[in-house]
Chain A
Amino acid sequence: MSSGIGVPVKRKEDKRFTTGKGKYTDDIRKDNQAYAAFVRSPHAHAKVKGIDASAALAMDGVIEVLDGHQLTGDGIGNIICGWAVNSKDGSPMNMGAWSALATEKVRYVGDAVAVVIAETQGLARIAAEAVEVDYEALPVIAHVMNAMTDGAVQIHENAPGNQIFDWELGDEAATDAGLAGAAHVTSIDITNNRLSPNPMEPRSAVATYDDAEEHYTLYTTSQNPHVARLVLSAFYNVAAENKLRVIAPDVGGGFGAKIYIYPEEITCLWASMKTNRSVKWTSDRAEAFITDAHGRDHVTTAKMGFDENNKIVGFKVDTVANLGAYMSLFSSSVPTYLYAPLLSGQYDIQNIHCNVRTYYTNTVPVDAYRGAGRPEATYVVERMMETAARELGMDPAELRRINFVQSFPHQTPILMAYDAGDFPKILGMAQSAADVAGFAARKAEAASRGKLRGMGYSTFIEACGLAPSKAAGSLGAGVGLWESAEVRVNPVGSIEILTGSHSHGQGHETTFAQIVADRFDIPIESVNIVHGDTDKVQFGMGTYGSRSAPVGMSAVVKAMDKVEAKVKKIAAHTLEASEDDIVIEGGEVKVAGTDKAMAWHEVGLAAYIAHNLPDGMEPGLKETAFFDPVNFSFPSGAFICEVEVDPDTGETEIIKFTAADDFGTIINPLIVDGQVHGGVTQGIGQAMLEQVIYDDDGQLLTGSYMDYTMPRAADVPSYDVSHMEDQPSPNNPLGVKGCGEAGAIGSPPAVINAITDAIGNNDLAMPATPQAVWRAIQAAKPVAAE
C-alpha cells in the first residue's frame, strides 16, 4: 500500500506552509478588532501600591485600561496547577494565588498588572508604557538555592520557606543499605540548566465576545484547545463550556510552552466582553522570554553504589527544583512523576530513592518543556553511568550492558512497569553505526592536529503516552489522560477523522490519515483530519508527552474497529453473506473467495440511504471512541556523540551524532526521523548553547536572541538515525511508543559525556559553551612543577 503504515508518505499539509497559506493565530483578523498590550512589572518582587491609567486613557485611540481588581471583581478565578502533589508527610502542596492580572503583589519581571486595549498594536504598547504603577520593591529570590535560606523573603503567604512540597519516591532505608554495602560509590553534583522553549511562532490570542449570544470565541496558539476550554470554564470562570469555543488553528511549534493557559488568553477573553471588541494579543520575542513557561532548572546530588561485579546496588538522588513565581498548569508533575520514576533508566536497579523539594523564586513559572522531567532524569542517570565507568576503569558501554534490564515486562522499584524492549540490541546498533571500533584511530588523528576527540554515550528510556487515567488520578492528576476520536465515513466513501490530538508540526494530517488509508485500503487523499476546534471535535486532551500516536491514534483505531464492524454487517447483508467472510481490500468490501463485492463508497452510500440495512441498524456510518491506555509506553534508545574540542578556544564541534531508537511500530519514517532530528537538536542546544540567566535582582539577562543562543544550522551536524521495530508496545493496538521527545531526552548526557571524555575533566556544567569548556580544560591541566 503506497500510503499505509510504515511508508514515508510526504506530508499532506506542506503545500499551505510552503506557499505562505498557513493560517496561524496572528494571521486572523476579526472585524472590529482591537489590540491588547500588557503593563508588566519591571520588578522581580514588589508590592503594587497603585495604578494610574489616566495618561494612557487620555491617548487618542486607547479604548480601555483594565486591572486586576476589575478582573477579580468580575469573578475571574486564579490560575491553577492541575496536578496535586503531596509532601512526604502527607501535607498538600502550597499553591500560591496567581491572578491573571496581579493585584497586591508582583512576583517576577513580566508579571502583568494591567492591560491596555487600543485601536492599534503600536498604540497599545505605547499606552502601556504610560500607565503609571506605584511599586514598593521587595527583596528578590532569583536563584533556587537562595529560596530555602534562613530569613529568605517569602514569596507566597502560604508557602513557608518558599517550599511548595518535599516529596519522595522509593525506599530510602533499602537504598541507604545498598549504598552502605557497595564496593564502590560514585557521587555527582549536577545542574540541569534552565531553558526557554522558544517555538518560532510567538503565542497569540484573538478573543471575540458575542453579546447577543453571550458567547466567546478564542483563537489561540494551543497544543490542547479542549483542555484550555475546560480550564477557562471550570476554574477561571470566563464562560460556561457551551458558551466558549476555542480554536487552535495552525500552530507554529509548542514544545510544551503552548500547553498552559496563560494570563494573556484569560485577559483577552475577559477584555473582549468588557470592551465588546475582538481583542488580539500577539507576543513579541522579548515578551515570550518573560511570559512563556521556562523548562528544567534542577539542582541535583546523586550517589550510585556498585558491587564488586560492577552491578548497581543502590541509587540515591536528591533534587531541588525551581518552579518559578507561580505554579503553572502541570508544574508539580514535571519534577516528580515525570522525573523520579525514570531514574531506573535502562538498568535493573533494586534500590532507588529520590527526594525532590520544589521552591518558589522570583522568576518566570517553570513547567514542561520537551521531555519534561525525563531529560532531567536521563541526565542524572547517564552522567552517573559515564562518570562511574571512568572511576571504575570500565568501558562505559560495558558497564551499561552488564546492568541492563534483560527481560520484560520489568517492574522497577519506582512505579514503572517497562513493557517491551531490547536494550543490548539497540546499543549494538548505535555502536555499529557510530563506528566505535574506529574511534581510537580517529582520536589519534585529531590529536595530531592538536584537537581533542571524545565519545559519549546515552542509553535512555522514556515513558510516553501519559496514562492510564485511573493511575494518573491516583497520583494527583486533575484530568484524565485518554484521547477521543470520531471516524466519519461520508456517503461518497471519503473519511473525516476528528481527533483531540493537536498537530503543531507533528504532521498528524498525514500520519493519522495513513492509519486510516492502511486500515480501509483507500487512497490517503480521501482521508481528512479535523482537529483543533472545540466546536468540531467533542473533546480531547491534546498533544504533549509524545502521546498523539500511542493514545490519539489508538482512539482512531478503536473507532475504526467499530466502523469496520458496521461496514461488514452492511456488506454481509447486501451481499447475502456471512459477516465473517467479509474482507476489506483494494477499495472494495467483498466476500472472501468469491467475486461478490461492493465498492467502498457503495457501503458508505448504503449506510446513509438506508434503504436496505439490516433490521434494527441505525443509518449512517460514524463512530466515536475514547482510548484510555493500560500503561505508559516505553520508547528507548542509544545515542552516541563524537566531538572534537579546540583546546585553544574551548570550541566544540559535534563530528557525528548517532541515534538508534526503539519507537515500536513506525507509522511514517520520514516524520519520525524528523522528530528525532529536532529533538536531538534541542538537546544539543541544552547541552552546549542555551541557558536562561537571571541576575541577582531577578532581571532576565538572556531576554532575546542576542543573548539566548538558539541552535543554528552550523551548530549541529547531520544525524545518523536508525530504528528498531521488533519490540512493539503491547499496550496499544498499533504497537507504537511515541517519538516526539526521545531526541531531547537522550541527547544532553551523550554530548556532555563526549566533551568530558575529550577534555579529561568530568566537572563540566551545561551549557558547555566554549568558555566553560576552556575553563574545564585549564582546570584539568596538571600543575607544572616549578
Chain B
Amino acid sequence: MYPVKYHKATSIADAVAALSAGDDATILAGGQTLLATMKQHLADPSDLVDIRSIDGMAGVSAAGNVLTIGAATTHADVAGNADVQKLCPALAELASHIGDPAVRNMGTIGGSIANNDPAADYPAAMLALNATIVTNTREVAADDFFDGLFGTALDDGEIITAVKVTAPSKAAYAKFAQQASLFALVGVFVADGAGGVRVAVTGAGEDGVFRQSGMEAALASGWSEAALDGVAASEDGLMSDLHGSADYRAHLIGVMAKRAVAAA
C-alpha cells in the first residue's frame, strides 16, 4: 500500500475536520473494499478517517415501525439484530449473505452504501424499501442517493450516519451470485411498503442499482409470481461482462424477481 495517515475520529466534527484537512482524505467505515483496493495500488488516499468509534455510529434502534441503523453497524450485526429480524427480515437475510462471515464482522452498511458498488446488495434494499439515508448534514431519499457506478449524492465531507427503514408489509431479496466474487450477478429486492410496491435490481445495470418499473406495476396490481409472467426485463442498459451477458442478466432478473416475490 501507499503510505496513508490514519485518524480515529472521536466525533462527527472531528471526522469532518480530518476529512477536510487531508489532500485526498476518505472515510474508513469497514475497509473490506477500500483496503483491498489500496493494497492493489488502485486507490491512494492521503488520509483514512475511521468513523467507527464515534458515539452512536453503530447499532440499531427501532421506533414504532421505523428502524434506524447506524452507518457503522456491521453486516453481521444487521443480520443478527432482533429488531431488524422482526421489522424487516428481508434486510437481515440480505445482510447475512454479504461477503463471508469474516467480512460481515468488519464491513458496514454505511460503507457499502457510500461505495455503491454496482453489484452490492444493500443499494437494492435501500431503493426497494424507500429508505432514507441520514448524513451529518441532511436526509436523502434512496431514490435520490444512488448515482451511477460507485456514485452517490454525498458531498465532500458529508458522512453517512445512519439509514432509516420503515418496515414493509412484504419484502424479500433473491440473489444469484457471481461465482467468483460472490457479489450479485443479479440481485432483486422486492418490497411492498412505505414507498408502494418496489422492485430494485442490483448487479445488472450499467449505471448501477435501478428500479424495474414494469415489474413494480405488475406487482402493484397483484402480488404474485404469476403477475410477473410476461413482464420481460429488457436487456437495454444491462451490463455484459465475462460473468454474464445482458440477455442472461435480463433473464435472471425475471427469475430472481419471481423467487423474491414467492419468498416475501
Contact = CB atoms under 8 A, between A and B. Distances in A.
Q: Do chains A and B touch in the complex (CB under 8 A)?
A: yes
Interface of A: 122, 125-126, 129, 284, 286, 648-649, 651, 689, 693, 701-702, 705-710, 715, 769-771, 774-775
A286 B40 contact: yes
Contacts of A706: 180-181, 183
Contact of B180 (A122, A709, A770): A709
Given A701-B242, A774-B251, A126 B2 contact: yes
Interface string B244-259: 1100100110010000
Nearest to A703: B40
Contacts of B5: none
Interface string B163-186: 000000000000010011101000
A771 B248 contact: yes
A708 B248 contact: no
A702 B179 contact: no
B181 A707 contact: yes
Interface string B28-51: 000000000001110000000000
A649 B255 contact: yes
B41 A129 contact: yes
Interface in B1-42: 1-2, 39-41
Given A689-B180, A707-B180, A771-B244, 14 more contacts: A122-B1, A129-B41, A284-B39, A649-B252, A689-B179, A693-B242, A701-B242, A705-B180, A706-B181, A706-B183, A710-B180, A770-B176, A771-B245, A771-B248
- Most chain B beta carbons < 10 A, residue from A126, A770, A774: A770
The 4 closest A-B CB pairs, nearest first, are A709-B180, A706-B181, A709-B179, A648-B255
Nearest to B40: A286
A563 to B, nearest CB: 50
B39 to A, nearest CB: 8
Nearest to B252: A649
Nearest to B39: A284
Nearest to B44: A126
Contacts of B255: 648-649
Nearest to A650: B248
A648 B248 CA distance: 11
A774 B186 CA distance: 15
Contacts of A774: 248, 251
A544 B174 CA distance: 44
A593 B163 CA distance: 87
6 contacts: A125-B41, A710-B180, A715-B179, A769-B179, A770-B176, A771-B248
Given A771-B248, A774-B251, A649 B181 contact: no
A771 B243 CA distance: 8
Contacts of A649: 176, 252, 255
A649 B179 CA distance: 13
Contacts of A705: 180-181
B84 to A, nearest CB: 25
A702 B252 contact: no
B40 A702 contact: no
Contacts of B176: 649, 651, 770
A129 B41 CA distance: 10
A721 to B, nearest CB: 25
Nearest to B251: A774
Contacts of A769: 179, 243
Interface in B203-247: 242-245
Contacts of A693: 242
Given A126-B2, A649-B252, A702 B41 contact: no
Contacts of A651: 176
A129 B179 CA distance: 32
A284 B242 CA distance: 23
A707 B248 contact: no
B32 to A, nearest CB: 13
Contacts of B40: 286
A417 to B, nearest CB: 42
A505 B91 CA distance: 42
A129 B39 CA distance: 14
A749 B113 CA distance: 43
A142 to B, nearest CB: 14
Contacts of A707: 180-181, 242-243
A749 B77 CA distance: 44
Contacts of B245: 771
A702 B242 contact: yes
Contacts of B183: 706
- Most chain A beta carbons < 10 A, residue from B176, B179, B255: B179
A449 to B, nearest CB: 14
A710 B39 CA distance: 21
A708 B242 CA distance: 10
Contacts of B39: 284
Contacts of A770: 176, 179
Contacts of A648: 255
Nearest to B183: A706
B230 to A, nearest CB: 16
Contacts of B180: 689, 702, 705-710
- Most chain A beta carbons < 10 A, residue from B41, B180, B183: B180
B79 to A, nearest CB: 18
A774 B245 CA distance: 12
Nearest to A690: B180
B159 to A, nearest CB: 28
A691 B137 CA distance: 47
A129 B183 CA distance: 30
B161 to A, nearest CB: 30
A753 B245 CA distance: 25
B229 to A, nearest CB: 13
A769 B245 CA distance: 12
Interface string B111-151: 00000000000000000000000000000000000000000
Contacts of A701: 242
A336 B52 CA distance: 59
A427 to B, nearest CB: 32
B109 to A, nearest CB: 21
A706 B37 CA distance: 12
Contacts of A775: 248
B63 to A, nearest CB: 38
A708 B179 CA distance: 9
A245 B255 CA distance: 60
Nearest to A708: B180
